Amino acid sequence: MLDPKSIKGNPMFWYLVVLTISSTVGLQTWSTLFNNFAVDVAGLQGSHVGMIQSIREIPGFLALLAVYVMLIIREHRLSALSILILGAGLAATGFFPTFAGIAITTLISSFGFHYYETTNMSLTLQYFKKDESPWVFGKLTSLAAASSIGIGLLIWVMTSFLDFTQIYFVVGCLIAAAAMWALTRDPTDVNLIAQRRQMVLRRKYWLFYFLTFMAGARRQIFIAFSVLLLVQKFQYTVQEVTILFVINNSINFFLSPIVGKSIIRFGERKVLSLEYISVIFLFTAYATVDSKLLVAFIYILDQVFFTFAIAIRTYFQKVGDPRDIAPSMAVGFTINHLAAVFLPAVGGLVWMIDYRIPFFAGAAMGIISLLAVQKIRTPKS
């Protein structure tokens, strides 16, 4: 039976809570300020902005190299160092208002963010039992949602008396301070099964790899085209998009722990089936609705179902070799980012032909994923 008190008694839980909040604050600060800073302060053009966004994804492809970094740095230390790198990159951003400066600081910050996300998934699966990890993932996602709202409000307040450079520096230093705290802690358990210190690619994990890739493709379609649809077709303002963002995170704050409990109760196959059935209808609706209010509701539901992807990780925990968790999460994170190489570019081209094509393609991916998850078989607890 799930016992949250026992979970919270595990020092790794609070270690991950602090670092997850820090990671979320860093990402949200970068995302909130980037476009205005790049255009208004650095004077960059759209081509520069697009190139920097592509550069930001490079560390995601290189997440598998974390396996080799862990040959010399223990995994929990790598988590803390990743957050320190994220904070340092963010703090430096405002001092380099040029294309090269923003590109380099973005790359530094992104390495910190992506390597933390990789180790976060791995440590959660290693340190919490199979009937605990879904709840932990849900709780961390819930806290991340609350942190996004909190830093958004803080930035809104700070913009009235601080400039971009000062905001980047203050938030970056706070994140670095949290990382320094983590570096003074050792929440590890020496009795855990040792992780393999090498790349792991196994045929028996094909379903995990495939579902991870499809989840990345689905996310890229959402990121690249859902907000574009809201703005271009339905003329949503920045304020209206911001309101949707706050609503999404408020819902996820309460819903994410429930999703975690649902995975424990109903299993990964049922939860993921519900997600992909919803994806089919949601992407079809994006392509067909003409109501500004209805498309907002679809957008909110779409983001809610992102949380269900937790089940892909917990599925691996149930079927994988416990020694393969760290290298497999690193490989999985790279696979998840493969879609970012071509989908936005290809989708942008077909968008010019008909904006509905990317969404119909997303619905087709939902059908394929729904069929794939029916192959999930996990040992009974």
Phi, psi of 128 (to 5 degrees): -130, 145
Q: Which residues contact 302 (CB under 8 A, 6 or more apart)?
A: 222, 226, 279, 282
C-alpha distances in angstroms, 193 versus 127, 196, 248, 321?
A: 10, 10, 38, 10
Instruction: Return the closest-CA partner of residue 144 out of 228, 60, 259, 28.
Output: 28
C-alpha distances in angstroms, 191 versus 127, 134, 216, 330?
A: 10, 22, 34, 22
Taking only the tens of pLDDT, the chain with its 381 residues reads 788 889 999 999 999 999 999 999 999 999 889 888 888 888 888 678 778 877 888 898 889 899 899 989 999 999 999 999 999 999 999 999 999 999 999 999 999 999 999 999 999 999 999 999 999 999 999 999 999 999 999 998 998 999 999 999 999 999 999 999 999 999 999 889 889 888 889 999 999 999 999 999 888 888 878 888 888 889 888 678 888 888 999 999 999 999 999 999 999 999 999 999 999 999 999 999 999 999 999 999 998 898 999 999 999 999 999 999 999 999 999 998 887 777 777 887 888 888 899 999 999 999 999 999 999 998 765
Determine how many CB atoms are found less than 10 A away from the CB of residue 26: 30
Percent helix, strand and coil across the chain, each rounded to 5? 80, 0, 20
Domains along the sequence of the chain with CATH: 8-185 (1.20.1250.20), 203-381 (1.20.1250.20)
C-alpha distances in angstroms, 354 versus 50, 132, 292, 328, 363?
A: 22, 45, 19, 38, 15
Query: Angle, nearest 10°, between helix axes 11-36 and 133-158?
Result: 40
